[in-house]
Structure 1
Amino acid sequence: MIYTLTVNPSLDYITFVDHLILGEVNRSTKEQIFPGGKGINVSIVLKNLGFENEALGFIAGFTGKEVEKSLKELGCVSDFIQVEKGITRINVKVKSKDITEINGQGPQITQKEMEKLYKKLDQLVEGDILILAGNIPNSMPKSLYADIMKRCTSKNLKIVVDATGDLLINVLKQHPFLIKPNKHELEELFNVTLKSIEDIEYYGKKLQQIGAQNVLISLAEKGALLIAEDQKIYYSKAPKGNLVNSVGSGDSMVAGFVAGFLESENYQHALKMGICAGSASAFSEKLATREEVEHLMEKLEECTVYKREK
C-alpha cells in the first residue's frame, strides 16, 4: 500500500482578477477551490494514474472537513487525524498580471495528536511505500521526518521525502528510497550556483553519498536528472507544452516516478513517467490524469533519454 503524509494541508482558494488594484475593491472573474498540500497532490495524481493510496495527516475545523470531502469526491482515501483546536489553513492565490499568494499558518499540533499519527504509522508493513511531502509548521521540529523514519526502520518501507532545507538534510542518514530536490533547492542546500548538468550531477551525488538511495532533481522545463542506486545517471528532457499552472507539478513528478517504478521496477521508465506527470500538471489547471501522462510519454519517446556510468 502507498501512504502519503501531509502534516499541514490546506484549502487552496484561487481567484482571478483582470487588473488587481491594491487598496481598492476588486472583482474576480473566476474562482477555484482545491484541497492542497504536497502529499495530498501526490495522492490525487497517484489515484489518477490508477494506484490506490491513503492520505494521512492532520485536519481541523470546517476547512479540514472540506479538504476531506474534496478528496473523497476525487476518489481518494484518507485517514486524517482531527486536531482539536484551530482550522486547516486557507491558502489564497490571486492571479492577475502578477500572482500574489497568502498562505495560512494552520493549527497547532499537540504531542497527543502526534502520538495518534505514530500509532497509524506503526500499522504499516514491509513493502509499503510512505511519501513524506511538504514543509511542516514552525512549531514542529525539523527532525520530524527523520524521527518518523527512525521509528519505521524495522519495517523495511520504501520512504520518499520531498522537502527542503534541514527537513531534507536530516533524513539522509536514514537512507530514504527517493528524495526530489529541484535545482533551486539544491543550490540553497549547498549555497552554490549551478550552471551546468555536470554541476547538478556533482551536488546530487553528494546527497546520495550522505545517504539517499535515489536523487531525482527537477529542472523545470529542462527535464530532470536521476542519480540512481543502480550506479547510473539518467537524464531526460521534458515534453514541450504551454505552462498553465506550475503548482503541484513537482508533486506530480513524485507520483509519476513512484507509479512508473511500481509498474516496471525500471528507473528509466520511472523517470519518464515522473517527468510526464509533472509536465501534464503544469500544462493544465488541474492535476495530471493517466490519459494526459500517457499522451506525453508517447511524445517523449522521440526525446533523448540517456544513461551513463558514474
Structure 2
Amino acid sequence: MIYTVTWNPALDYILHVENLTKGKIQRTNKEELYPGGKGINVSLVLSEFGIDNIAMGFLAGFTGREIERLLKDKGCETKFIYTKEGMSRINVKIRDNEETDINTSGPVIAKENIDGMMNTLSNLKEDDFLVLAGSIPATLSSNTYEMILESLALKGVKTVVDAEGELLRKVLPYHPFLIKPNEEELKGLFSVNITKREEVIYYAEKLQELGARNVLVSLGEKGAIFLTEEKETYQMEAVKGEVRNTVGAGDAMLAGFLAGYFKTGDFRKAFELSVQTGSASAFSDWLPTKELYPQIFMDK
C-alpha cells in the first residue's frame, strides 16, 4: 500500500478574472475548487492510475470536511486526523494575465494529533510506501521527518521524501528509498550554481553518498535525471507542449514514478512514466487525468 501525508491541506479556490484592478469590484469568468497539498496531489494522480493508496494528514473544520469529500469523490481512500480547533486552509489563486496567490496558515496541530499520526504510521508494514511531501507547519517540531524515518527504519517501509533544504538533508542518514529535489533545491542544498547536466548528476551522487537510495531530479522544461541505487543514471527530455500550469507538476511526476515502479518494479519504466506524467500535468489546468491523457494512464 502507498500512504501519502499532507501536513497542511487546503482548498485551492481559483478565480479567473480579466485585468484584475486593485480596489475595484470585479466579477469572475470562471471559478474552480480543488483539494490541495503535495501529498494530496500524489494521491489523486495515483488514483488516476488505479493504484490503491491512502491519503493522510491533518484537517480541521468545515473546510477540512470538504477537502476529504472532494478526495473521496475522486476515488481516494483517506485516513485524516482532525484537529479540535481552527479550520483547514482556503488558498485563493487569482488568474488574469498572471497569477496572484493568497495562502493562509491553517490550524494548530496539537501534540495529541502528532501522537495519533505516529501511532497510525507505526502500523505500516514491510514494503509499504510512505510519501512525506512538502514543508511542515511552524507548530510542528523541525525534526518531525527525522522522527518518522527513524521510527520506521527497521520495518522495511519504503520512505519517499519530497522536501527541501535542511528538512531533506536531515533525513538522508535514514536512507529514504527515493528523494525528489528539483534543480533549484539541489542548488540550495549545496549552495552552488548548477549550469550543466553533469553537475546535476555530480550533486545527485553526493545525495546518495549522504544516504539517499534513489534520486529523481526534476529539471522542469529540461526534463529530468534519475540515479538508481544500482548506480545507473537515466536522463530524459521533457515532453514538448503548451505549458498551462506548473503547480503540482512535480507531485504528478512523483506519482508517475511510484505508479510505474509499483506496477513493474522497473526503474527505467518508472522514470519514463514519471516524466510523461509530470509533463502532462504542466499541460493541464490542474492535475492530469486518464480522460485527458489515456495514453499515459492505460495499463502498460
Interval of TM-score (by shorter of Structure 1 and Structure 2): over 0.9
Length, aligned pairs only: 298
2:241 maps to a residue whose letter is G
Residue 59 (structure 1) aligns with: 59
1:69 maps to a residue whose letter is R
Q: Residues 43 and 202 from structure 1, CA distance in 2 versus in 1: closer, same or farther, beyond 3 angstroms?
A: same
Q: Is the 8 A contact 2:48 2:297 kept in 1?
A: no
Q: Residues 291 and 274 from structure 1, CA distance in 2 versus in 1: closer, same or farther, beyond 3 angstroms?
A: farther
2:129 maps to a residue whose letter is I
Residue 79 (structure 2) aligns with: 79
Percent identity (aligned) = 46
Residue 181 (structure 2) aligns with: 181
Displacement, 1:290?
A: 3.9
TM-score scaled by structure 2?
Answer: 0.96
Q: Is the 8 A contact 1:50 1:290 kept in 2?
A: no
The CA distance in 2 between the partners of 1:130 and 1:296, in whole Å, is 24
- Once the two structures are superposed, the pairs formed by residues 146-295 of structure 1 within 5 Å of their partners are 146-290=146-290, 295=295
Displacement, 1:23?
A: 2.0
The CA distance in 2 between the partners of 1:179 and 1:123, in whole Å, is 23
C-alpha distance after superposition, 1:76-106 (max 9, x if no partner):
0001001001110111111112211111111
TM-score scaled by structure 1?
Answer: 0.93
The CA distance in 1 between the partners of 2:137 and 2:274, in whole Å, is 28
C-alpha distance after superposition, 1:158-206 (max 9, x if no partner):
1100011111111111100000010011111111111010111111111
Residue 43 (structure 2) aligns with: 43
RMSD over aligned Cα, in angstroms? 1.4
The CA distance in 2 between the partners of 1:202 and 1:216, in whole Å, is 13
Q: Residues 156 and 293 from structure 1, CA distance in 2 versus in 1: closer, same or farther, beyond 3 angstroms?
A: farther
Q: Is the 8 A contact 1:178 1:216 kept in 2?
A: yes
C-alpha distance after superposition, 1:224-259 (max 9, x if no partner):
000111111110111111111111110000100011
The CA distance in 2 between the partners of 1:296 and 1:287, in whole Å, is 13
Q: 1:279 aligns to what SS in structure 2?
A: helix
Q: Residues 20 and 291 from structure 1, CA distance in 2 versus in 1: closer, same or farther, beyond 3 angstroms?
A: closer
1:219 maps to a residue whose letter is L
Q: Is the 8 A contact 2:43 2:53 kept in 1?
A: yes
Structure 1 runs (4+) greater than 6 angstroms displaced? none
Q: 1:154 aligns to what SS in structure 2?
A: coil
Residue 144 (structure 1) aligns with: 144
The CA distance in 2 between the partners of 1:118 and 1:132, in whole Å, is 13
